[in-house]
Chain A
Amino acid sequence: MWSTDREVAAGDVVIIWQTRDIIQPLLITPGKDLNSRFGHYRHADLIGVPYGSKVGSSNGKGFIHVLRPTPELWTMALPHRTQILYLADIAFITSWLNIRRGSRVIEAGTGSGSFSHSVVRTIGSAGHLWSYEFHEVRAEKAREEFNRHGMADIVTLTHRNVCKDGFTVTDTVDSVFLDLPAPWDAVEHAKKALRKDCTTRICCFSPCMEQVLRTVTALNDAGFTDITMYETLLKPHDVHQIPVPISLSDIVDKLKKSEFKREEKRLRQIANSSKRKRDSSVDKDDGSKKAKTDDDTSNTAEIGPAAVPVTIQSITETTPVPSQPAKVNLSKPMQEVRGHTSYLTFARLLPISFSPQMPDLDENMVKSDTASSS
């Protein structure tokens, strides 16, 4: 597959990581340039740089990371020709189909090659992938890509409509993966391609429930067993550094303090206004009114100065020094995420040579209960 050398060489496909969302493949071609909003880079300057290096642009506008391709990075960076499969589905399918070193696998259709790259990595040079694509231009594009990525020995790519014409191998593969609009039309063909000396597996990838139901019927009719279905997703989590929330007692103190200030202000306003009134109407006022305002001011004197010093002191003592506020790391699931990709319908095909023909336990019972219920 891709280069395993320590340093980047001319002709290598590398992954250029600019940001988490801008990840692109690049074929290192001396003489060519890479221009992006993160600067200007000459391919020739990337040759000899160790994989995983951070490289600054020649015009000082930014930097990029030069990474070694992996199927997972390729999935994030590849040119989309179709809807593609993502990590969660690819990994789960690989696991359920028991794809491992030396496995022989069929895939239809090839699409953008996201699944193909992952399978080829996992089976290695001891395994083989037969990939089928019915769209001629897409098949050619994929073929060029497989050649460029050094996978040609491990993949046999055929331009063909497998629903109509079937597969090119018989009794050969360990597992079949069908990502087709009408997988039920390819189920009988898949059965022919699977080896019959051990248990083999199939997975059909369909976005709609109606497709699943038709596929299940086709699988059942073809003699596949243990039919089951899964949905799998990755929920990305975001990590936030947020200040440690202040303690409740701090809030209590803060609220008390603000209430006290409010009260203080109110009393000051009353005092001021009565003073103004007194000043303006000192001659007109009678004794009773005067006595009342006197009462008010004496009240202020009582509540205010007596209560204030204590409260203020306690507040200033407990208020933390506003230095660097402590931070805490918290994570939560991202808001906008993929909610559905496809339903994964799986089934097994047992080795027929080991299954003798004999009356089914279940059939017996079906007969018996029709008898009993009639």
Chain B
Amino acid sequence: MDGDANVQSFDLINNNTVQSGDTVLIKLPNGETRSVKVDRDSTISLGRIGSFYADELLDKPHGLTYEITGKTLKVLPPRTLQEVEDTDATNELINDGELVQPLTLSEIEALKRSGTHASDIIRTQIEKHTNYSLKNEYSKEKYKQRKEAKYSKTFTVVEPTLFNVCEYWYNKDQNRIRDLRADTLSQLLNMANVRPGGRYIAVDDASGLVVSGILERLGGEGRLITICDVDCPPAYPAMVQMNFKKEQVSSVLTSLNWATAQEDYVPIGASLESTSGVIRSERQRIRLDKRRVVSDALTSAREELFAGEFDGLIIASIYDPFPVVEMLSPYLGGSASIVVQSPYAQPLTDLQAKMRTSPHFLGPSITESWLRRYQVLPGRTHPTMNTTGSGGFLLHAIKV
């Protein structure tokens, strides 16, 4: 097979199994997804679902579904779609408000406490249910699903793909990621032509989701300089669930802030030399060395930015986009892509109007992303009832 050695070394970076120290996304039966740190020799608690030994997950591939039994895990076989047989039942004889379930809440609680398996509890409920047989088959399915979401002690380890991590953040707190939906994020990365070995400038006020996307696309090869609004390296919390290897990040990512990214910026701060010219103690030497490392890193990041010829500029920022584009686009090479994301149309509308009067930008255009998901079940295929209103807006232009 072609490129075998390459492929193997890549499996090390693109790890396909859960490792100690990873943060994994766990999907519960009720559809909720939680972010959980997996450390060797620890216990992971999932609240009502129960708890289990973290070691049970280690070295297992992502994507599996487990059932908690005691503190251990049992892998469940993949579920396939169930064909629903049509019967004559029509729900015609079912009325609201009738008492149909003689099993009381306390009886159910007692069953749960005694360790009865979820499927047995549900079976008991179905047996006692006075109208179950009157339900049509679709209603029966829904009933079972509802009960399962309530009682089953199962969960699925969601694969830490960019798509899934984006979806997790979108459902958890979409404001913090500037309403950046997975489809829009994927368009942004393609429009910006992010590729292994490329060099990019990014402004990410979307909790690091954009940075995560770029880092994953770079795969440890290339360069990413981010400009942030804090004076220490920015926290990009979305990177946590991506479980990047240290090498994949440290060799690629550097950050400057809006002040240090100014060409006329002059650092003010403690001197790199001892004031007396002589180093008096080991402690002082270590302190000066540390200072020098930080200062050198800053100087080289600034030099690299100002040397320019970057392949792309990606902006998902809370700041007025035009000054950001004006300030950073001179560091782009000819024909490089500029992509600006916003949850609102107006800032990009103004940006487009300004950019098109400038000779430096070719074809600035605005798009809104549209996405529709379908439930696909035999005989029950339709668009999902609830959906997101908009995927946000992107502006793309070419630096000329």
Residues of A within 8 A of B373 (CB): 228-230
Binary flags per residue of B230-271, CB closer than 8 Å to A gives 1, else 0: 000000000000000000000000000000000000000000
A364 lies within 8 A of B400 (CB) = no
Binary flags per residue of A162-181, CB closer than 8 Å to B gives 1, else 0: 00000001001000000000
Complex interface residues of chain B between 116 and 158 (CB less than 8 A to chain A): 118-119, 122-123, 126-127, 132-133, 140, 144, 152
Report the Cα distance A86→B77, complex, angstroms.
37
B78 lies within 8 A of A225 (CB) = yes
The answer to whether A84 has its CB under 8 Å from any CB of chain B is no
Categorize the interface residue count of chain A: 35 or more
Interface centre among A52, A92, A95, A351 (most CB of B within 10 A): A95
Pick from A32-40, A118-126, A267-275, A295-303 the stretch touching chain B. Answer: A118-126
The answer to whether A88 has its CB under 8 Å from any CB of chain B is yes
A330 to chain B, nearest CB (A): 7
Pick from A68-76, A256-264, A277-285, A304-312 the stretch touching chain B. Answer: A68-76
A67 lies within 8 A of B335 (CB) = yes
Q: Find the B residue at minimum CB distance from A7.
A: B334
Complex interface residues of chain B between 151 and 198 (CB less than 8 A to chain A): 152, 159, 161-163, 182-183, 185-187, 189-191, 193, 195-197
B132 lies within 8 A of A91 (CB) = no
Choose from A20, A68, A369 the contact partner of B126 (Cβ within 8 Å): A369
A101 lies within 8 A of B126 (CB) = no
B376 lies within 8 A of A227 (CB) = yes
The answer to whether A239 has its CB under 8 Å from any CB of chain B is yes
The answer to whether A141 has its CB under 8 Å from any CB of chain B is no
B63 lies within 8 A of A199 (CB) = yes
The answer to whether B102 has its CB under 8 Å from any CB of chain A is no
Residues of A within 8 A of B346 (CB): 331
B126 lies within 8 A of A372 (CB) = yes
Interface size on B, residues (CB 8 A): 93
Complex interface residues of chain A between 354 and 374 (CB less than 8 A to chain B): 354-358, 360-362, 364-366, 368-369, 372-373
The answer to whether A57 has its CB under 8 Å from any CB of chain B is no
Q: Find the B residue at minimum CB distance from A53.
A: B334
Residues of B within 8 A of A125 (CB): 3, 6, 196
The answer to whether B223 has its CB under 8 Å from any CB of chain A is no
The answer to whether B399 has its CB under 8 Å from any CB of chain A is yes
Residues of A within 8 A of B183 (CB): 88, 91-92, 95, 232
Q: A121-B195, A239-B352 are in contact. Are A88 and B78 (CB under 8 A)?
A: no
Residues of B within 8 A of A72 (CB): 190-191, 193, 337
A-B contact pairs, 12 of them (CB 8 A): A67-B362, A68-B334, A92-B186, A98-B163, A101-B14, A124-B221, A329-B352, A331-B366, A345-B376, A350-B61, A354-B61, A361-B119
Q: Which 4 A-B pairs have the closest CB atoms?
A: A52-B334, A101-B219, A102-B10, A124-B196
B residues with CB within 8 A of A: 1-3, 6-7, 9-10, 13-14, 16-17, 60-64, 67, 74-82, 118-119, 122-123, 126-127, 132-133, 140, 144, 152, 159, 161-163, 182-183, 185-187, 189-191, 193, 195-197, 216-221, 309, 333-337, 345-346, 348-350, 352-353, 356, 359, 362-363, 365-374, 376, 378, 381, 393, 398-400
